[in-house]
Chain A
Amino acid sequence: MNGFLKYFYKRLLQIILTMFILITLLFFMFRVVPGDPLSMYIDSGLDEEATEVLLQQYGLDKPIPEQYIIYLKKVLRGDFGISFQYGKPAINVIGGRFWNTFILMIASLFIAFFTGIVGGVFLAWKRETLIDSLGTTIVLIVRSAPVFWTGMIFLSLFAFRLKILPLGGMNTPGTYFPNQLVKFFSIDFLRHLILPALTAGIHSAATPLLVMRTSILEVIKEDFVELARAKGIKENQILFKHVMRNALLPTVTVFAVQAGLAIGGIVLVETVFRWPGMGREIVLAVAARDYPVAQTAFFLIGTMTVIFNLIADILYAYIDPRVVWN
């Protein structure tokens, strides 16, 4: 296991390096841009003097290398700057959105996981029948469809035509909750959560589902299954105890990888459903050239991605020890 720990620490170091590069990358990308953030506010009646004052305040008048050092020092303290749009520390603006995205991610991954496993098992069970072909085709179609388009279809169907679910957003305007916890467990919230989570969920479920199906089909062919059959163990038992356990691991791995990719896709889902999360915030912040908020959001999203990749790698290392001794 020692080699494993070494690998883990190496990966951890790498993560830190990655985050550092991410931050630096971001910083330079935004600064070397044509156009500055104040230009978003010019027709609000800001004259030249006020513009100069604001430029100074946001530190945009110092030379770039100097800005970078100041920026790094601040980031290490957790200070990502003051949002140009909201006048609040960027971390506060994103902080407000972080949990919304997190909950949506968890809900969609939940749906993806179960759909993937149950679907994979089902199709494997029905292998070589019409249902299998049909099912696989449907899964492929869902996988090939843009996730936001699926969202638009769901909105049209369930929210607009059937009117059983809301049109978007996170809660009905004007409703009041005494605290966050109550809010997240309320029926109103859950009603708003279903469609976006479902949309993101089935999109992420597609690949794991296919992997699960294939894994099961492969494991079934293996010797120890024949042995179990010969022993007289029931087909169902074989499926659940022996096959699933072995087929599950590669599926879980692929799923972790998928989760890492899904984070980027959350941006699309949040946009279609107007879900007030980090994904939507980054789109708005980029459009407004609100550097601090866009950077913070990107950084947090990047962190989540890196963590999920780490989990995926650990799982890989678990299945295939060869990987570790690179």
Chain B
Amino acid sequence: MKSKYRMIIILMLLGLLTLSLSVFGEGNKSISLPEEAKVPQINYWITSQTYDPVRYEIGLMVAEKWKELGFDVKTTCLEWATMSSKGMKAHEHDVFMIQWGGKAERIDPFHWLYTLHHSSEAASGKYNVAGYENPEYDKLAEGFVTNTDLEKRREYAFKMQEILAHDVPQPPIVHRVVTHAYNKDDFENVVMAMGEGLNSFWNWINITPKGDRKILKYGYVGDIKLLNPLTTKTGADIYILNIIYDPLIRIDVNGKPQPWAAESYKQIDERTVEVVLRDNMKFHDGTPVTVDDVKYTFDLAKEVKAPYYSSKIKYLKEVKIVDNKTLRFVLVEPFAPFISNGLALVGILPKHIWEKQYIEKGAEGLLNWDNQPPIGSGPFKFGYWRPNEELKLVKNDEHFNPPKIEGLVRIPYAQAYGVVQGLKAKEIDGSGWSLLPLQIEEVKDARHLSLGRIDDQGYYMLHYNLRVAPFDDINIRRALTYAIPKKKIVQLIFEDLAVPAYSVVAPVNKFWHNPGIEKVGDNIEKAKSILEESGFRWDIDGHIYYPENY
């Protein structure tokens, strides 16, 4: 072998060796206290930067703080799908973070208070990911769900938030500030609603044109995918379906249910809700909306096990037609959230169309049906959909509460930057896509644009696993949670487009939120003192050990 070749080879091998050592080698630290008493390593799962840069950065910041307290923290990047199946489903985690969306159906805090924390939901596959089991809490939660008196429910909700703020099984970290932009020169009466901002139904109904232009164009990243109300899973699609189809009840901007397609509703007993249907409603093809359509909708959803609807009507036993204007919904057991999470989220389907499709296609075919054109009874009619170009909805003049605009055009953009350019160039009049700080700076320059802001009802939540050490110890949990630099996270990672979160029910949800709870966070000194007072020890390298006789 020629010597010059030999030299290259030797160089490369040497380099390889040195590199491997430097990249993969890790030093070992010395210990001076009994090994068994050492607090076990915390394996913190974070998402990759690609999937969610926010959770990635928060993870790194939080891990740093925990290391300051002396904990041995290892950050591991997992693909979301893996994290979801191992963490969300199998509960094999130590700690990881989820972003819970602030959807309309979560305004009644059933999801936050019961589904996430009741002990019955701690089994594999369910949402009490932390495995929190507190009998006192369970009793309150049960009362919250079965008692149909709103004030009593509120009392329970307040008490539950107090307990959770103290026990911190799954502390909330921050609420994003949803920031949307719109053209204030041409449109007014913008309504920013909880959880949905500009995308909300109330905005589209109320927004009013100022000038001659009566059709509003709005931009969003990505096109809609599917307009089948039984199946669709994506938020963007649901926003559209929400204005084409009318439900019996709608949640207003304050979070309270209002009759909509229903003229009125009444709680007859703890299991039954009676609803009187509004007169003179018609589907977009002219057919009148009757109680048969309403019953059919719920029966069909149950029968084909429609993924999107079925979770909302889980507790529904049957729908009875009382007369040609009245229906009764009978539940399997008392379930107070049925009205805001069930009746308010199921759009009425036209029986004459869906029945035919069901007979032709069967259940599976029906769930895969693209439902074009979607015929509902809502204030907007379907105009046309040119995939990847635009979607148009037209005002339904015959509706009992028609919108102020003549039409709505939804334009999909390839990326958020494009949306911003579109707003500035007046290509679009608004965007329901929450803007990032860099984008907001650009929008501020444009005179015709205005920003609408609302705190998110959803939040980033850190899920501890109470089934494993060290999260099974309440003092450790409280200390770790106190160490979380929520304010710095808001400032550095969100550039102040967020607010620290303390209660599992967001402050923006004024009716249900308890403002008087303990605010755990941003206090590493308090974290240290909690640990010290409970007897935890540290060795000379600063590693934390359990108290004697633990």
Contacts and interface: CB of A to CB of B under 8 A. Distances in A.
Q: In their complex, do chains A and B touch, with some C-beta pair under 8 Å? A: yes
B368 interface: yes
B234 interface: yes
Given A49-B311, A50-B310, A87-B226, A96 B387 contact: yes
Contacts, number: 121
Contacts of A41: 233
Interface of B: 50-51, 79-86, 88-89, 98-101, 103, 105, 125-126, 217, 219, 225-226, 228, 231-235, 305, 307-308, 310-311, 314, 364, 367-368, 370, 386-390, 409, 411-415, 417-418, 421-422, 427-428
A167 B418 CA distance: 8
B456 to A, nearest CB: 14
Contacts of B234: 44, 85
A140 interface: no
Contacts of A37: 81
Given A45-B105, A86-B226, A173-B413, 10 more contacts: A35-B81, A50-B310, A51-B125, A96-B388, A167-B417, A167-B421, A168-B415, A173-B390, A287-B51, A289-B81
Contacts of A49: 305, 310-311, 314
A273 to B, nearest CB: 9
Nearest to B232: A87
A174 B414 contact: no
Contacts of B387: 96
A46 B85 contact: no
A87 B370 contact: yes
A143 interface: no
Contact of B79 (A35, A43, A46): A35
B99 to A, nearest CB: 7
Contacts of A276: 388, 414
Interface string A136-180: 000000000000000000000000000000011110111110000
A43 B127 CA distance: 10
Nearest to A168: B414
Contacts of A47: 310-311, 314
Give the 3 A-B residue pairs with the shortest CB-CB distance, closest first: A35-B81, A39-B84, A274-B414
B219 A173 contact: yes
Interface SS, A side: loop
Interface string A41-70: 111111111110110010000000000000
A35 B80 CA distance: 8
Contacts of B217: 174
Nearest to B413: A173
16 contacts: A34-B85, A34-B86, A39-B80, A40-B84, A43-B99, A43-B101, A85-B225, A87-B226, A87-B228, A96-B387, A172-B427, A173-B390, A173-B411, A173-B418, A173-B428, A274-B414
A155 to B, nearest CB: 11
Nearest to A86: B225
A176 B414 contact: no
Contacts of B126: 48
A274 B415 contact: yes
Interface string A80-93: 00100111100000
